[in-house]
Structure 1
């Protein structure tokens, strides 16, 4: 049986996972999992490329969490898609106002929390509860726009996926066409499963191609020499 790798993105119903063959024709399989722990258990020893922050510093300095600035530098007009993730204590807070206060007290210069980032906190906590340094051999943080940048010859996509929080058909088509050039069939990319949106499917598919690069040792980390948080977790985005 051909080995598989998996690209993962958060979605309204939990986590959308696009599994592809580790080499040769992609033969994609798409599933939605309610819990990240179930996804990890059901994928055996497959490499997972996950669009969600992994590794949370106790304090955020002027350079940010670590991967964010070098990734933004690659993305040009798409750099706003890279959120500023606050300290671990802020992420563990479930009230937005309290989270902003904690984030401000644990950063220099003081920073609040963007609402879009705050809405990711439950999923960040879900991964954080499971992650260990040992799992880093198969679970890697990625970012879809950095994945598309890599797949596009190290050039950022020209169009946004969303405009005013609504899907941008032209931006989705641009990314879909790029994925087709990398081996997906167009029909694989137009019908997301229940509980996931069109952009979730495209992002997970792009992440799956980065998972192939990870398995082959071709992916690079941003930054090149990642720091680790107090739990020993690597803080890096890969592409």
Structure 2
């Protein structure tokens, strides 16, 4: 599915980091970074420099009550050798459990499989974004940086992102797309270089969403409970 609307204004790409969230806005005079403990505050900080029309966030948007999201299955297939970078999203009940072991039991009951401790580690951020979109924040769309880079290059990245070669590969793709991280200003706090690069990739997709040229997996997005739609955009 291609995004149907064309909007004018700033966009923000967001990735999780140790401090909470790091965002990159690909402004015409150079990208600007922001960091905050929660996503709502991050967007507010970005809006001090101009209205934000679209936010691309590297976290699941839309949780299933049973089974597995089509978006996760399709994106893993599209990523090929980089598929390990995507953790399948557990059902809502599993993410509301008191601990990982209890969540795995609930996941197996609803989806016939458990889920990784890494996916459990994202639980707080998943629930934060879920509350935000259910409260009516309609600018947020789910992205996955590796899918963004795959779309930019026309193929999955050749090197893992945490390697030196992988960072150079991704920074070069962003530079060719007009997001020059060597001109980055603003605050990144304790965010690692890979967090900033991923936020910039999310910003690339957010820019395509605003322009109406982004595409979704699945196409059309999957309708899930609470009136939410699950799709990863690139």
What residue is the counterpart of 1:30 in the other structure? 33
Deviation for aligned residue 1:194: 2.0
Structure 2: runs of 5+ lacking an equivalent: 1-7
The number of residues matched between the two structures is 223
> What secondary structure, in the 3-state scheme, does the structure 1 residue paired with 2:178 have?
coil
- Taking structure 1 as reference, are residues 175 and 190 closer, same or farther at Cα in structure 2, changes over 3 Å only? farther
- Structure 2 CA distance for aligned equivalents of residues 189 and 150 of structure 1: 23
TM-score normalized by structure 1? 0.87
Deviation for aligned residue 1:181: 1.4
- Taking structure 1 as reference, are residues 184 and 225 closer, same or farther at Cα in structure 2, changes over 3 Å only? closer
Identify which of 128, 131, 135 aligns with 2:130.
128
- Taking structure 1 as reference, are residues 202 and 192 closer, same or farther at Cα in structure 2, changes over 3 Å only? farther
- Structure 1 CA distance for aligned equivalents of residues 105 and 96 of structure 2: 13
Deviation for aligned residue 1:81: 1.1
The C-alpha deviation readout for 1:68-123, integer Å capped at 9, x for no partner, is 1221221110111111111000011241111111111111xx11111111100000
Deviation for aligned residue 1:46: 2.3
RMSD after superposition: 2.0
> What secondary structure, in the 3-state scheme, does the structure 2 residue paired with 1:131 have?
helix
CA contact (8 A) 1:18 1:28 kept: yes
**More helix per residue: 1 or 2?**
2
Structure 1: runs of 5+ lacking an equivalent: 162-166
What residue is the counterpart of 1:144 in the other structure? 145
In the TM superposition, 1:158-197 aligns within 5 A as 158-161=158-161, 167-188=162-183, 193-197=188-192
Deviation for aligned residue 1:129: 1.2
- Structure 1 CA distance for aligned equivalents of residues 75 and 98 of structure 2: 27
> What secondary structure, in the 3-state scheme, does the structure 2 residue paired with 1:225 have?
strand
Deviation for aligned residue 1:140: 0.4
TM-score normalized by structure 2? 0.89
